[in-house]
Chain A
Amino acid sequence: MSEIVRMEHYSFTYAGQQSPAIRNVCLSVRQGDFILLTGKSGSGKSTLLRQMKRELVPAGEISGEIRINGKDLSEISQRESAVTVGYLGQNIEQQIVAEKVWQELVFGLENLGWNQDRMEKKIRQMARLFSLEEWMEKNMSQLSGGQKQRVLLASILAMEPNVLLLDEPTAQLDDAMAKEFLREVARGNRECRTAVLLAEHRIRYALPYSSRSCRMENGRLLETTGKKADFFPLVRRGERKNTQRDDMGVVLRDVTFFYEKGKGVLNRLSLRVPRGTFLQIVGPNGCGKTTLLQLICGIRKPCAGTVECYGKAAMVPQNPKALFSELTAGEELLSESLFDELGLGGLEQAHPYDLSGGQQQRLAIGKVLETKPDILLLDEPTRGLDNDCKTMLGVLLERLAEKGMTVLCVTHDGEFSEQYGTIYHLPI
């Protein structure tokens, strides 16, 4: 089968940095391949993927060779690059261009200058393949994260690329959506004969579809042979301790909340959380988990019942970007001890937007911690984090609980909630 991407002793150093981010990588991607790329965050997965897409290569120094369809990357025109290499990243919102689903689907095809007949055929084919028929008329903003990502996948595969680069595409999705999305990717790989290069933390779900897997470590690419060897479950670090105190942290009495009359989100919910508890609130989509946090920290008021907080409550929002207002991480977070505690040492000068997802998450937590809350609320804090980051977060939250802070965490992440804290199923 024909070779689509070939990298020979390829190294890359970001502009202004000493050590290379990619070291001496050799890689060959052939038609129909499904290559799973694993590795900790910051190990160079994204950087490696971006090297293959002309428009996305970051500024820096390159040595070695990279060929796409036998042509050196520097000789490839924008048109060729757009046709040959598809790219889908983790930030869903930033990849959506149009208002309607069908407009999103035709965007790439219009750019390539396809004619009407060809577009129509392709749209119909993609809609059938990815079951999008019923959404075509909808606005993109009406879809859930997983649905948006699926539309984006279809709109990129519609352009018939030879290789599809996926940079942690499920980072913002919950487990169920991620599973489904990866199944769609596999379908695209099979039906469209597109080679897939997937950087992913959810190894468990992606492994069954992959034909090969590689691991990045400090910029080096290690080919892994045994599939099982790459499978790291989340392992808890440290002993489980009972950190609950005798006095109360949060007490809810018969709390009822609805956005519209007749459509109750929370129905006469009563909950007593002792101080020093680390509670993992779980439950299906739409059962009111986020609403519960908003009620506790006072963003919303209950329609009936009472919410009592013993002490100050503060919340870390789902998207950490909603909190950053300064130019450097050091200005966002003033206390140095907190910096080290969160594992952000050495990043004081970086712009918050330049940090990785996990680092942003921790910086946001730090920013909230600086307001010295007694009750810490977190909304899906493990989104987009690898196991190392999750462990770090779990340990941190347990330590805070031990110090007497009440920690309430809403999560979809089964592994995380099993390993750290106490699970609370929110009734529907």
Chain B
Amino acid sequence: MRRSDGGRFASHHPLVHMIYFLTVLLLCMFCRPPAFQLAGLMIGIVSLIRLQGKKGLLLYAWVGIPMAIYSLLINPLFLHRGETVLFSLFHHPITLEVFLYGGSAVVMVVTVAIWFGIMGSCLSSDRIYYLFSRISSRLALYFSMTLRSIPQLKERYEMVRQGQIALGAHTPDGRRKKLSQMGKELSILLSWSLEDSIEVSDSMEARGYGLKGRTSYRRYRMRKRDWILAALLICLSIPVWTAVLSGSLRLYFFPAYILPEWNRMTGCAFVFFVCLLLLPLAEDKAAELKNGREADADE
């Protein structure tokens, strides 16, 4: 069953989330050996299905398929670097390296997109609000006001449009008439919204907006488990970062495809990388086991 609350991991402090997802996203971009990429993609897919259901994956297929078409079908026709020639097409060599290069890029983009999606499920708008409010309470307020205004504008436009239909102003004939009718509707919407915004700002001022020393309400407190997770993920990411920064994970596509060697450092980095990616799943699963049968019945 799909979890609407996002599970236990999602209930962590937003700062921890931010550190976690920033780390994962960056590492998914920098760790390009196939083992790393495959791990990032597979664990990402499993985590995403857990959070958003299988339907959530469709969106990423829409990102991935056009990119795959471009980099696996079109790009090889024009890019002829690399030394392993597979075959010739119209006297142009088609090389293995170009395919590998394109495939790696597609996997990387899709993986990053998927982890972004997972981040979106964990960082709800009030968590982002909180992160903003750490920077400036006014910035956070603007963020919240913007989020409120979008559905409001939509709703209002619908009301204006229905009002016009009800008046009989919607005549289907003529593109010019249609355009001018739409202009009229937008102008009604605009004057309505502007008129409203005067009242909104009156009401804000009446409630003390603009006074000096505005504070911001913090909804989240770092608890013990937040500190533990933060420490854990920093520990796990250090070996991976070391490997990345030392260049041990570097791979070459051109002129020939050269993978980094498996040695103690890269092996260690891989294990820690996988652990890092598994953290949310592991924590949710552990919490479920702890909750015992209740959770089992749910699943």
Which residues of the other chain, A, contact B215 by a CB distance below 8 angstroms? 109-110, 113-116, 119
Residue of B nearest to A77 (CB): B211
Q: How far is B137's CA from A378's CA once the two chains are assembled, in angstroms?
A: 44
Q: Is there contact, CB below 8 Å, between B204 and A97? A: yes
| Neighbouring A residues of B216 by C-beta, 8 Å | 110
Q: Using known A-B contacts A103-B129, A110-B215, A114-B215, determine if residue A97 contacts B165 with beta carbons closer than 8 Å.
A: no
Q: When the two chains form their complex, are residues A111 and B162 in contact, meaning their CB atoms are under 8 A apart?
A: no
Q: How far is the CB of A65 from chain B (nearest CB, A)?
A: 22
Question: Does B166 make an interface contact (CB < 8 A)?
Answer: yes
- State whether A322 and B219 are in contact (beta carbons under 8 Å apart), knowing that A100-B126, A141-B151, A299-B166 are contacts in the complex: no
Report the stretch among A37-45, A67-75, A78-86, A263-271 that lies at the interface.
A78-86
Chain B residues, CB < 8 A from A97: 141, 144-145, 148, 200, 203-204, 207, 209
Residues of A within 8 A of B211 (CB): 78-79, 82, 111-113
B205 surroundings in chain A (CB, below 8 A):
55, 78
Instruction: Tell yes or no: B218 within 8 A of A by CB.
Output: yes
Of A56, A113, A322, A325, most buried by chain B (CB within 10 Å of CB) is A322
- A315 neighbours in B (Cβ, 8 Å): 162-163, 166-167
Q: Of all chain B residues, which has the CB nearest A379?
A: B166
How long is the Cα–Cα vector from A427 to B128 in the complex, in angstroms? 45
Residues A93 and B207 in contact in the complex (CB < 8 Å), given A103-B129, A314-B166, A323-B167: no
Tell me the bound Cα distance from A313 to B219 in angstroms.
Answer: 51
Q: Is the CB of B159 within 8 A of A319?
A: yes
Q: Give Cα A112–Cα B216 distance, bound, in whole angstroms.
A: 10
Q: Which of B7-15, B28-36, B188-196, B271-279 contacts A (4 or more CB under 8 A)?
A: B188-196
Contacts of A103 in B (CB 8 A): 126, 129, 144
Q: Which residue of A lies closest to B160 (CB)?
A: A322
Report Cα–Cα, A312/B169, bound state, in Å: 12
Nearest A residue to B157 via CB reads A322
Q: Does residue B247 face the partner (Cβ distance < 8 Å to A)?
A: no
- Closest residue on chain B to residue A118 by CB atoms: B215
Residues of A within 8 A of B207 (CB): 82, 97, 107-108, 111, 155-156, 159
The closest CB in chain B to the CB of A114 belongs to: B215
Shortest CB distance B272–A (Å): 36
Tell me if B172 counts as interface (CB < 8 A to partner A). no
Which of chain A's residues have a CB closer than 8 A to the CB of B208? 78-79, 82-83, 108, 111-112, 159
The complex places the Cα of A263 from the Cα of B20 at a distance, in Å, of 42
Answer whether A110 and B217 are a contact pair too, CB < 8 Å, given A56-B206, A94-B200, A294-B162.
yes
Residue of A119, A297, A373 near B217 (CB, 8 A) is: A119
Cross-chain contact A317 with B162 (CB below 8 angstroms) = yes
As a 0/1 sequence over residues 403 to 426 of chain A, the CB contacts with chain B under 8 angstroms (1 = contact) are: 000000000000000000000000
> Cβ of B199 and Cβ of A91 under 8 Å apart?
yes
Checking A83, A141, A319, A353 against B152 with a beta-carbon cut-off of 8 angstroms, the contacting residue is A141
**A239-254 with Cβ < 8 A to chain B:** none
Are the C-beta atoms of A317 and B148 separated by less than 8 Å?
no
Contact B202 A56 (CB under 8 A): yes
Give Cα distance in the complex from A298 to B171, angstroms.
Answer: 13
Chain A residues with CB under 8 Å of B204's CB are: 97, 107
Residues in A320-368 with C-beta less than 8 Å from chain B: 321-325, 353, 367-368
Q: Complex Cα distance A43/B127, Å?
A: 47
Q: How far is the CA of A367 from the CA of B208 in the complex (A)?
A: 39
CB < 8 Å neighbour of B144 from A95, A99, A112, A368: A99
Tell me the complex Cα distance, A353–B197, Å. Answer: 13
Write out the residue numbers on chain A whose beta carbons fall within 8 Å of the beta carbon of B200.
Answer: 94-97
Contact assessment for B195 and A353 in the assembled complex, using a CB-CB cutoff below 8 Å: yes
Query: In this complex, which of A94, A140, A294 has the most chain B Cβ atoms within 10 angstroms of its Cβ?
Result: A94
Interface residue B242 (Cβ < 8 Å from any Cβ of A): no
Which residues of A are found within 8 Å of B184, using beta-carbon distances? 325
Determine whether A87 belongs to the interface, using a CB cutoff of 8 Å to chain B. Answer: yes
Give the interface residue-count category, chain A: 35 or more
Give which listed residue, B151, B191, B203, contacts A89 with CB less than 8 A. B203
Say if the beta carbon of A18 comes within 8 Å of chain B.
no
Q: Is B174 an interface residue (CB 8 A)?
A: no
Closest chain A residue to B147 by CB distance? A99
Decide yes or no whether B75 CB sits under 8 A from chain A.
Answer: no
Q: Does B168 contact A (CB under 8 A)?
A: yes
- Please tell me if A98 contacts chain B, counting CB pairs below 8 Å: yes
Distance A115 CA – B125 CA, assembled complex (angstroms): 23
Query: How far apart are the CA atoms of A38 and B58 in the complex, in Å?
Result: 59
Task: With both chains docked as a complex, state the minimum distance between the C-beta of B223 and any C-beta of chain A, in angstroms.
Answer: 15
Mask, B258-275, CB within 8 Å of A = 1, is 000000000000000000
- Measured between alpha carbons, how far is A141 from B147 in the docked complex, in Å? 11
Query: Which chain B residues border A78 with CB–CB below 8 Å?
Result: 205, 208, 210-211
Contact B196 A324 (CB under 8 A): no
Do B195 and A96 touch across chains, with their CB atoms under 8 A apart? Answer: no
Known contacts A107-B207, A112-B211, A113-B214; is-contact A99 B166 (Cβ 8 Å): no
In the complex, A371 has a CB within 8 A of chain B? yes
Chain A, residue nearest B169 (CB): A371
In the complex, which residue of chain A has the Cβ closest to the Cβ of B184?
Answer: A325
Q: Report how far A324 CA is from B195 CA in the complex, Å.
A: 12
> Which residues on the A side are within 8 Å of B202 (C-beta)?
55-56
Chain B min CB distance to A248 (Å): 20
Most interface-central of B163, B192, B215 (chain A CB within 10 A): B163
Q: Which of B125, B155, B156, B203 has the most CB of A within 10 A?
A: B203
- A126 in contact (CB, < 8 A): no
Nearest-neighbour CB distance to chain B for A379, whole angstroms, equals 9
B218 touches A116 (CB 8 A): yes
**CA A78 to CA B213, docked complex, whole Å:** 13
Residues from chain A with a CB closer than 8 A to the CB of B159 are 317-319, 322
With CB as the reference atom, state the residue of chain B lying closest to A107. B207
Residues on the B chain within 8 Å of A94, using CB: 196, 199-200, 203
Alpha-carbon distance between A79 and B184 when the two chains are bound, in angstroms: 42
Least Cβ–Cβ distance between A329 and chain B, in angstroms: 14
Binding site for A on B (CB under 8 A): 125-126, 129, 137, 141, 144-145, 147-148, 151-152, 155-156, 159-160, 162-163, 165-168, 184, 187-188, 191-192, 195-196, 199-200, 202-219
A-B residue pairs, 5 tightest by C-beta: A82-B208, A315-B166, A111-B208, A94-B199, A113-B213
10 A-B pairs with CB atoms under 8 Å apart are A55-B206, A56-B206, A98-B141, A99-B144, A103-B144, A109-B215, A110-B216, A113-B211, A321-B192, A322-B156
